[in-house]
Each structure stands twice: as C-alpha cells, then as structure tokens.
Structure 1
Amino acid sequence: MKVVEEIVERYGSARTILDPFCGTGTTALSAVNHGHDAATTDINPFLIWLASAKTAHYPAAVIAQADKAGKAALDLARREAVQPLPEPPIHKIERWWTERARGFLCHLKAAIRETVGHSGPVADLLHVAFCRTLIKLSAAAFNHQSMSFKDSTQCAFDLEPDAGAGFLDDLAFVLGGAKQNPPGNASVILGDARDLPGCLDTRFDVVVTSPPYANRMSYIRELRPYMYWLGYLVNGRDAAELDWLAIGGTWGVATSRLAEWSPSGARWLPDDLPSVLAGIASGDNANGALLSNYVAKYCEDMSAHFDGLRRVLNPGARVHYIVGNSTFYGVLVSTEQVYAAMLRKYGFTDVEVLPIRKRNSKKELIEFDVSATWPGA
C-alpha cells in the first residue's frame, strides 16, 4: 500500500515498528526494507505464515534449491507422475476452477509435497508461488466488494497449450523478491489485537497499520481459496468461526451471533455513538438491528485494542491508523472520529485526522490517516 510506504519512510532507521493488524504483511515488509525492526500480529494463522514467508531472510543456496525444486515439482505435475491430493472442500468448487485446472492444482500441490515436504523455507517459497498460480487459474473476480465469477470457458488454463507454465513465472517472481533480503528483522506473531500485552513482550516507537474497516467486508472470504488449498481450513464452519473471532467479521455464523450479541458495557465508547446506532437500527431498515450491533461490536473491539496498545509503546511513540468511514442506510459512521476519540480517552496526545483519498464514487466515503502520540505513563 503506497500510503503505508510513505508513512514508514518518514521515520529514521533506528525505530521499532508495530503493525497489530498484519494482513498480508505489507507494513512489516516495508519496515524491514527500510532497516527497521518490526513486529506484526494477526489472529489468522494463514496470514501469519504468509507474512513470515515474505519477511524472512533467504540465503542464496535456499533460493537456488527452491528454483530447482519448483521446476522438478512442475515436471511431476505435468506428467501426472505423483498421486494427486484430494480437492479442498470449498463450497461449489466448480465455480472457482474448471475440472482440468483443479486436476493440475491437485497434482502440483502433491508434487510440491513430494519434492520439498510440508514446511521449511524452500517449501514456503514454493507454496507462495502456488498461491499466486491457483488464484490466476480461478474464475473468481476480486475487484469489487461483491465477489463474482467469470464464465469458466474463459479460464486461461484451459485455453493455453502449455498448461501450468505460469507456475514457473510465479516462482520466478517470488524468488526475485526473496533475493532482496531486507536489512531489518520482523517478528510475526499469532495473537489478538484486542490483547496486545498478552502477545508482545517488547515496546515500540511507531505504529503503522490499516485495521479492518467497519464495512462488513469479510477478509476470510477473500482468503478462502488459499487457506483451503494449504490446509488452514477444512470446512466452512472453521472459516466462519475465524471470521467471528476477527474484528469486523460478519461472514457465516458471525451473522447469526451478531443478532444475539449485546454490548458488554465494559469498554469506553464515544458519547455520540448511541445516536448513530439508533439511526442504523431504525425500523425502516430491514437489517438495521443487525448492522447496528455490528457497528457497536466493532467499536467495542477497537476500544479494547486502543486500551491495550498504550501498554506496548515507548514514551513518545507515534501511531498511524489508515482507516475509512462507512455508511449504513444513509447513516454515516465516522470511524476516523471514533478512533480519534478513543485515542484521546486512553491518554494519547497530538491527535490528528488527515483525509487521504476518496474510497469510491460516493463522495462521503473517505480514507483517513488517524495519528497520535503516546506521551508515556
């Protein structure tokens, strides 16, 4: 993300940088590339693996071994000289990949396992390339909030005479990045952003992060293809449970649980939030009560996050939160102002809210950099 890169560049090299919402590791990678020591946390084990693979240091011998092993695995897959692994239990998997593409991916995944095993730096590099390949071969379109599927007859895999050759291109791309060993070091930690003191044992000078937005966007939904193929999910229930645990999750079982959820009263919330929630829950709105609960839970979770955040910061630490606002039934949820109020409540100073850019064609939807200073206890 360009915005994150620009913020990281503002700080000198002798800094420890934290991203408590890891995602695909963008902030951690930017930080170590600029010579910082970084830490990042996430509740999703797949994202922890991916960020770890992206920020690791790879000796030349490992990269050469991965290149050789990738070519060997592709040869096995092309010749179907290995017993294919079963297709992952993705609901209506035929919408995602054609039968021929699924067959190739099952053989390629088995060939990678046969060649380099389940884990280790070489396996990590091949699996990252595999993730790039599997999504390129799919019929899914991720360029808008409502995921759609292309006509399966347009699948590039089925139209190319040398099916699967794109894996070598993906591997070359991954290995090219792996050669750029960053000067900094990253710690990638499985943990809950609502309890940072429980998963971090050091303190930080800078926070740069883009947390989940309050927009009912399920991040698990976007990650399902990778997580199923790599074994991080085995059924839809697992995906829904993980989404429920995540801040801002609403997919599957999370939706039904939201209908029964009520605020704990244990977390500080802005004084003007009840009127916003009431507007969303208006009787004229079909799912108003559910979405009001969604916003309330999101704010309660973020309050817990900011409460814990101050306990892992050095005095004078500067924090940056890249976040967008949202609307529900025409009611504006000014997430940036919610963040600003919470930061002030928990003792942060010099709070600033800087508009960065419009998010889409709706003029009221804007992305912000909400920043503040932790003065110390």
Structure 2
Amino acid sequence: MDGTRNELKQRADYTHKFNIKTGRHGWLRLTPAYSVKVVEEIVESYGSGLSILDPFCGTGTTALSAAYHGHQAATTDINPFLVWLANAKTTNYSDADILEAEQAGRIALDLAVREEVEPVAEPPIHKIERWWSERVRRFLCHLKAAIADTAGHSGPTADLLNMAFCRTLIKLSAAAFNHQSMSFKDSVQCAFDLNPEAGSVFQDDLAFVLSGARENPLGDACVVLGDARSLQSHLDDEFDVVVTSPPYANRMSYIRELRPYMYWLGYLANGRDAAELDWTAIGGTWGVATSRLSDWQSSGNHWTPRDLERTLESISSSDNKNGALLSNYVAKYCEDMSAHFCSLTDVLRPGARIHYIVGNSTFYGVLVSTEQVYANILKEYGFTDIHVRAIRKRNSKKELIEFDVSATWPGKPRQ
C-alpha cells in the first residue's frame, strides 16, 4: 500500500470545504462531496483532450473540473436532482442568459417580498417547522412561486434562479453542518427572522451564482440519469480516465442532506419516494432501505472477495445489536460495487486509468477495508497496475482513512 498512515493529516482541503467559495463548485454544499482539489491533482497528471468519466456524479465535481481543463466529460447518477444540479453547473451561459437571470431575479424577489404572487404550497417535509420558522416558510413559498412566474420551470434562467433559491432556503433553515452529516440548531429561529432586509440573502446568493455562471468551462460535459451498475446501457462512448468518489460503506445517506432541495424543487413528493430512491442507490440506508436489508440475499451474479466472509461473520456476531442487518448492508454494498466494476469494463478504452476515492469503515469495531475490496474486485475483472494510496485521515479515529484506488484497464482479450 502506498502512503504512510502515521504521516496522514485530515486535509480539509481534500473535502467539500475546499469547494465552498470556488465558483460553480461552491454553488451547493453536500457534505459527502469530495474536493475539486483532489480531482484536479489527478486530472492534471494526464494529457490534454481526454474523455473523462465520473460514474457517481454527486455534485458534478469531476465533470465540471474536467470541462474547465478542456476535456470531454461524462457523468451519471441515479438521483434526478443531482443530474439537474450537475447539468446546471456544467452548462455554458451566455451574457444574455446572465442578464436575463439578473433581471428575472430582481422581479421575482420584488413579487415575493410584496407577496404579489400566489404562493406555492409548503413541501410535505416531515416536521417542516424544525427546518424553517413560519415567517421563513411563507417567504420561501412566495419566492418559489415568483421564480416560476418570471423564469418558468426550465431553461438557463430558471436553473440559475433555482440554484440561488436552493442556497437561500438552506441558509435560512435551522440545519447545522457541524459534523459529517446534517443536524438541527437548538432553535428554529434562524438569522432571517432577525434580518429586516427580507431579500438580502437571496440577492447575495443570486449574485454568487451569476458570478460563477460567467466562468464558462472550455470543454463539454454530458450528464446522464443512470445506474452505475449498468453503464453500458446509458453511455455510448469509451473513456480514457475515470475519476470518481462512490458512496462509502458507512450508511451515510445522500438523501438525508438533499431532502430540502428535492422537496422544494419537486423531485420528492413524500417520504416513501425518498426511501425508494435511497434503496435503489448503492449504499442507500434511508427508511425502507434499512428494513429491506433484513430480507436481502445475494444474487450470486457478481464476484466478491472470499476473505470478505470473515469480516461479515464478525459484524453479524450475536453480540452485536443489528449485526446481521449491518452484515447484509456491507455484503450488498460490495456486490453492488462489483456489479459496477463489471459494467465499467464495457465503457473503457484499452489503457484507460481509473481513480476511486473511497474511505474504509468500521461496524462494531470491525474494520471494513473497502479499498482492499475494490483492489481485489479490480484484479478479478482483469485490471492491472493496481495501487492503493492513502491520502488523508477522515477524522480523529486513526483507522478511518480515505484512499485513492487506481488501476489500468488493459482491454478485453480478443475472442
């Protein structure tokens, strides 16, 4: 294994924190997102004019970075909101688009503040009062309606205004981001309630979004709604480089943090929708996803490392509450990732290099060495030149590390 664990640091610049003020990369925050700095260090080590794939789109970090460096990028995600987000971030905006969004934003804000538009209904978020005070919810309902009234529901202007709206709704919420996932502040009375300038937050957010929109990438990016376990069904091209950060085997749900955006923009209608989407995603754990794990059984269609069995047996020990459930979770995660790597071989050019940024995990003190699971699966499917490089500590627990698992695809043997 490359890298010395004792010398590793937590490297906040390798996390989402680096992206916050970095133009389009900072438009929306997602805690599990990785840093554009990680992507750029990898992308810059290769030549120019490449075709770069990210099969786990997330917030579109890889696709946007690759396009900024003049490459052709493609990215897929199973979550339609993330596909919208990445499309909006990688679009080329004309001066006319930006001017129109600026003017439409002023009109929409004026309509919302004056309440001269019929407000949309509050989204059916469970215990919505925990998120926003009544006054804030009223403002957001009017603002959302005003944006639709002035910019419509699609197109560059609508995308830019809705991006600013997403930033505003999370700033005005009681959500706190002081650890790896999302929690709530002690009081729902957020800063907006104390601010006499009702529209100042949205004004600032729209200005930030439009500033990033002026910085168009040199290359193109294609964002596709699709399952990373069947890439050949969604992509027609072959790729030179893969740079991605897949979900980790740590039961952190993307849906939990994305819910406010997805409800307000209409991508979710109820909690069942959220649970179903999370169950469909690799590593999903929200709601029904957890209950279904107890009945899950391996399909046997994809290869997983034999030494994984010992880890699963340790997790499922009768001494561990929910041990059998979590053992199933890890087994399903590894089988899903095996299906993904098998699919990946159909969309790579011979000689393609891949980089997977992934962290290990622990369950009841049992270490799941996800990086070694990846390395073993890649070897089984014919990848060569496999390296596992530790790049940072994930938190104060010395055993939790983030890795860059890289390999070369030599191409499929001739029949």
| TM-score, normalised relative to structure 2 | 0.90
- Partner Cα distance (2:247, 2:87) in 1: 20
Q: Secondary structure at the match of 1:169?
A: helix
Q: Is contact 2:93-2:214 (8 Å) kept?
A: yes
Q: Is contact 2:173-2:188 (8 Å) kept?
A: no
- Summarize deviations over 1:336-364 as a string: whole Å, max 9, x none: 00000011111100000000000000000
- Partner Cα distance (2:112, 2:291) in 1: 42
Please name the residue that 1:305 is paired with: 340
CA drift at 1:175: 0.7
- Partner Cα distance (1:90, 1:307) in 2: 38
- Summarize deviations over 1:42-91 as a string: whole Å, max 9, x none: 00000000000000001100100000100110010010111110000000
Percent identical among aligned pairs is: 77
Q: Secondary structure at the match of 1:40?
A: strand
Please name the residue that 1:338 is paired with: 373
Partner AA of 1:172 in structure 2: A
Please name the residue that 1:36 is paired with: 71
Pairing partner for 2:58 from 1, 18, 23: 23
- Summarize deviations over 1:193-235 as a string: whole Å, max 9, x none: 0001011100000000000000000001110000000000000
Q: Secondary structure at the match of 1:317?
A: strand
- Partner Cα distance (1:337, 1:215) in 2: 16
Is 2:151 aligned against 1:116?
A: yes
Which range is displaced more, 348-357 or 142-151? 142-151
| TM-score, normalised relative to structure 1 | 0.99
Q: Secondary structure at the match of 1:152?
A: coil
Alignment map for 1:27-176 (pairs within 5 Å): 27-152=62-187, 154-176=189-211
Alignment map for 1:118-267 (pairs within 5 Å): 118-152=153-187, 154-267=189-302
CA drift at 1:18: 0.1
Q: Is contact 1:97-1:152 (8 Å) kept?
A: no
CA drift at 1:107: 0.4
Partner AA of 1:266 in structure 2: N
Please name the residue that 1:5 is paired with: 40
Partner AA of 2:319 in structure 1: D
- Partner Cα distance (2:181, 2:56) in 1: 23
- Summarize deviations over 1:108-151 as a string: whole Å, max 9, x none: 00000110111111100100010000000000113324532113
Structure 1 unaligned residues grouped into runs of 5+: none
- Partner Cα distance (1:142, 1:190) in 2: 28
**Where in structure 1 do 4 or more consecutive aligned residues deviate above 6 Å?**
none
- Partner Cα distance (2:339, 2:186) in 1: 44
Q: Is contact 1:157-1:164 (8 Å) kept?
A: no
Q: Secondary structure at the match of 1:39?
A: strand
Please name the residue that 2:27 is paired with: none
Do the aligned partners of residues 269 and 53 (structure 1) sit closer, same or farther apart at CA in structure 2, a change above 3 Å counting? same
- Partner Cα distance (1:69, 1:41) in 2: 31
Partner AA of 2:248 in structure 1: Y
Pairing partner for 2:330 from 251, 273, 295: 295
Q: Secondary structure at the match of 2:389?
A: strand
Q: Is contact 2:132-2:188 (8 Å) kept?
A: no
Do the aligned partners of residues 182 and 375 (structure 1) sit closer, same or farther apart at CA in structure 2, a change above 3 Å counting? same
- Partner Cα distance (1:147, 1:128) in 2: 20
- Partner Cα distance (1:129, 1:343) in 2: 41
Pairing partner for 1:356 from 381, 386, 391: 391
Q: Is contact 2:174-2:188 (8 Å) kept?
A: no
Q: Secondary structure at the match of 2:346?
A: helix
- Partner Cα distance (1:152, 1:20) in 2: 39
CA drift at 1:154: 4.2
Q: Secondary structure at the match of 1:193?
A: coil
Structure 2 unaligned residues grouped into runs of 5+: 1-34
Q: Secondary structure at the match of 1:299?
A: helix
- Partner Cα distance (1:307, 1:6) in 2: 26
Q: Is contact 2:50-2:241 (8 Å) kept?
A: yes
Q: Secondary structure at the match of 2:349?
A: strand
Q: Is contact 2:133-2:189 (8 Å) kept?
A: no
Please name the residue that 1:319 is paired with: 354
Q: Secondary structure at the match of 2:229?
A: helix
- Partner Cα distance (1:142, 1:284) in 2: 33
